[in-house]
Amino acid sequence: MSDTQPRLHLHDSRTRNTVPFVPLAPDNVRVYYCGPTVYDLAHIGNLRAMLTADVLVRLLRHLYPRVTYVRNITDVDDKINARAHANGESIADLTARTIRDFHEDLAAVSILPPDVEPRATHHIGEMQDMIARLIETGHAYEAEGHVLFAVASYSSYGALSGRTPDDLIAGARVEVAPYKRDPGDFVLWKPSDDQTPGWDSPWGRGRPGWHIECSAMSQRYLGESFDIHGGGSDLLFPHHENERAQSMCCHPHGHFANHWVHNAMLLVNGEKMSKSLGNFLTVRDVLRDTPAEALRLLLLRAQYRSVLNFTHEGLNEARQMLDRFYRALENLDPMQDAVPAPDNVVQVLCDDLNTPRALAEMHALADAAMAGDSLAAARLKAAGNLLGLLQDTPEAWFRGGAKVDPARIESLIAERLAARRARDFARADEIRNDLAAQGILLEDGPQGTTWRQA
């Protein structure tokens, strides 16, 4: 990071303050985000966490020479077992298909892949090593084929989520089990029967608990201490609280995550998204009728720590905003296409990823571009690149979503031109009106007639 670059400030969930971001090693900023449990399609709430990570990593790569971004995949879980059984398919087939769908959905919304994407089933050995160390140091214990973390052994338990031990027990859906020493103790390893995935271990054939996975994989690829751990606010407790406790007890001289970033939840039409309410939307549900960039822009219109209300009206507004930006890019001079991201856009993003203000700065650039400033158009394009927007050309944007055959449109334009030359203006108007009814607008200019999607 150069002396002229703005200083990044991020809200840290652990301290509950927005603080300057100071990397542990400026030559390699290390970031870990919790990825999917792969048993179903990603929904738009999942997407918000992945998009927050994408914007953060894009900004970090703008500011620092190297960023190592790790995002895990949980491919061993009781939900996966239950879904595979319900579907009558193998766990391997279910997880392979779901991982492929997850990658396709994120790529559609221009979310860049992580540098490393470890799968839980490939790191059972690291998990077992960590569990053994926790037992040796008195932070975990065996009980009836299980290994459990002893919450009372870590005096700082609850510091991340800001809850007292009583609050933690009252607010958690803890598993009631007679073999637990304390109701809040959580599972590190549990037994598997013949129908359940399992691995041999010193504690019997079994499988890992959810929380130990991320601790083991983050340590494997980022070390005992790394810069940023992120995810949705729903993961703050118990998942991230438990991760932090077991990692700090296993490596007491490290920091685990130096900085915690959590995005707020997403509502749909003012209500919590739920299948029972009929407002549960997968990414694919939305993209069936909406350009992917419009979905991405809608999510960026709210700062990541603000609750976002998803509506179809909001999607339409995002699409209209993109129409305006792409209109401004029609004044882009190809010779100015590669300019750096505008300083004012970088500056507001450094203020805890303030994407609404960044979009406001892009509107100002669009104003200048539509007034004939080609450099402003280039800067608008560069700002879009930093936010993962404006990835199409104007021509592709205005034509790409049309649900008609482009060749047919060109044929009708030619027919309309012939009708006008023959002074058959009624037929020419009929063609224009028919196309307009299909959402296709014709624009006559000195170079001929062009078309775009309304």
Question: Annotated binding residue at 34?
Answer: yes
78-87 and 91-108 helices cross at what angle (nearest 10)? 100
Element of type H or E holding 432: helix 425-437
> Which tokens in the block code for residue 4?
């002229």
Stated length of the chain: 454
Question: Annotated binding residue at 239?
Answer: yes
- The closest alpha carbon to 63, from 2, 11, 22, 115, belongs to 2
Residues 6+ apart with CB under 8 A from 452: 398, 399, 440, 441, 443
- How far, in Å, CA of 261 to CA of 16, rounded? 10
Peptide bond into 238 cis (omega under 30): yes
> Which tokens in the block code for residue 360?
């406001």
Question: Annotated binding residue at 250?
Answer: no
- How far, in Å, CA of 29 to CA of 38, rounded? 27
- How far, in Å, CA of 185 to CA of 413, rounded? 71
Torsion sign (Cα): 50, 56, 61, 65:
negative
Element of type H or E holding 427: helix 425-437
Question: Annotated binding residue at 142?
Answer: no
Neighbours of 415 (CB within 10 A): 13
Q: Are 348 and 386 in contact (CB under 8 A)?
A: no
Please name the residue that has the structure tokens 């140091």.
137
**Residues of the binding site:** 34, 214, 239, 243, 275
**Residues of the binding site for Zn(2+):** 34, 214, 239, 243
**Residues of the binding site for ATP:** 275
